[in-house]
Amino acid sequence: MIGICVPFVAGYFFVIRGGMPVATKGEPLPLEKFVANKALHAAIDKEAGKPAPISADESNLLIGARIYQEQCAVCHGHLGRPSSAIARGLFPKPPQLLPPMKGVTDDPVGEIYWKVKNGIRLTGMPGYVDSISDTEIWQVSLFLLHANELPASVQRVLRP
């Protein structure tokens, strides 16, 4: 009984005495990254294999790029610009998703789609399910998947 209670009591005192890092500058807790990654993948893996119901043609990539510029670039980066104050101040940091960074170009498109649709709790990543249409979520997901091989017309949308 005591063996079970001690870790809970210790955890409680750790939290109420201010031991828990709550500022964005704090380091992750031991195991925090591991648990967060495991939980995320356990939730996503069932759906990650979903193929995109639309093709990655130029018109879909163009719409994806416009959505990205409007909704995502403030956190995930504008082409050729240093990361924004918002991106620098978040914990965890939003990964920069445009070249020369690899971004999510080697992830399954279904996984990108899941993250954009549902967001990632307790991070700055919003879920877009109530804000943009399902087709638009696929368009921006395909855009990110092909971020390292975009046609010139799409690259122009990304330049200031």
Q: Which of residues 96-155 bind ligand HEC (CB under 6 A)?
A: 104, 112, 115-116, 120, 123-126, 128, 140, 144
**Smallest separation, CB 42 to ligand HEC (Å):** 14
**Smallest separation, CB 58 to ligand HEC (Å):** 19
**Smallest separation, CB 15 to ligand HEC (Å):** 22
Q: Is 75 in the site for ligand HEC (CB under 6 A)?
A: yes
Contact window for ligand HEC (CB under 6 A) among 1-9, 45-53, 71-79, 146-154: 71-79
d(CA 70, CA 136): 12
**Smallest separation, CB 126 to ligand HEC (Å):** 6
Which residues are near ligand HEC by CB under 6 A? 67, 71-72, 74-76, 90, 92, 94-95, 104, 112, 115-116, 120, 123-126, 128, 140, 144
